[in-house]
Structure formats: structure tokens, C-alpha cells
């Protein structure tokens, strides 16, 4: 895993405290609760990073949120968390449907 920057990859580790903060926000959301009740599982947490270049060229980076990946029997979901407002701001659900055809 990592953030691709050109040909290089920036590897980011998420602290247990960051993960707990994200999970506490996610677990309070009613739509996420519904997905969990439907059998979806949380499979990953990727931080959303904001990088700012200062006038002197220094770069500061801050995690402003996270993308939480979920998988279920019927598909997968991505949950976007905004840390500044402390809530889930978007959920994208991709469903899979298989139609069997006889030859």
C-alpha cells in the first residue's frame, strides 16, 4: 500500500489512535450501521492527506479524513470520513449481480 507520487511510492502507516477515531465516527453513522447489519465488513482504512507548500518551500501534511473500505456478499462500499466535521460525508456502494445463462 502507499501513495503513488510519480514513480515513487509514499508508504503511510496509520496509528491505532487514528484508526480508533475513524472507526468511532464510522460506527455512529446510521447508513454504515445498516451495511454492517447486512453483513459488510470493514476491510481497510486509508487516510486522506492534505499537503501544503509554504512560501519558503517547506511542506506540511495533515490527515483531513479517511476512506474506509467495506466488503459484503453483495458488493463493496467506500465510506468517506471528514475529520474536521467528525462525520461520514459520502458512501459509495457498488453492487454485484450475476445473471447465469444456460448455454
- Residue spans of the domains in the chain: they are 9-95
The pTM for the full model equals 0.80
DSSP H/E element including 34: helix 30-37
Q: What is the pLDDT of residue 96?
A: 84
The CATH class of the 9-95 domain is alpha beta
- At 11, list the grid cell: 508508504
pLDDT tens track for 45-86 = 999 999 899 999 999 999 999 999 999 988 999 999 999 999
Question: What are the DSSP calls for 40-95, one per residue?
Answer: -EEEEEEEEEEEEE-TTS-EEEEEEEEEEEEEETTEEEEEEEETTTTEEEEEEEEE
pLDDT tens track for 9-20 = 667 888 999 999
Amino acid at each position: 500500500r502507499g501513495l503513488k507520487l510519480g514513480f515513487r511510492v509514499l508508504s503511510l502507516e496509520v496509528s491505532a489512535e487514528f484508526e480508533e477515531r475513524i472507526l468511532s465516527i464510522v460506527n455512529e453513522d446510521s447508513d454504515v450501521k445498516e451495511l454492517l447489519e447486512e453483513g459488510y465488513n470493514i476491510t481497510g482504512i486509508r487516510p486522506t492527506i492534505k499537503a501544503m507548500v509554504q512560501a519558503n518551500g517547506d511542506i506540511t501534511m495533515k490527515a483531513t479524513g479517511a476512506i474506509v473500505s467495506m466488503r459484503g456478499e453483495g458488493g463493496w462500499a467506500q465510506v468517506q470520513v471528514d475529520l474536521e466535521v467528525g462525520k461520514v460525508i459520502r458512501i459509495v456502494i457498488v453492487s454485484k449481480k450475476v445473471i447465469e445463462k444456460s448455454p
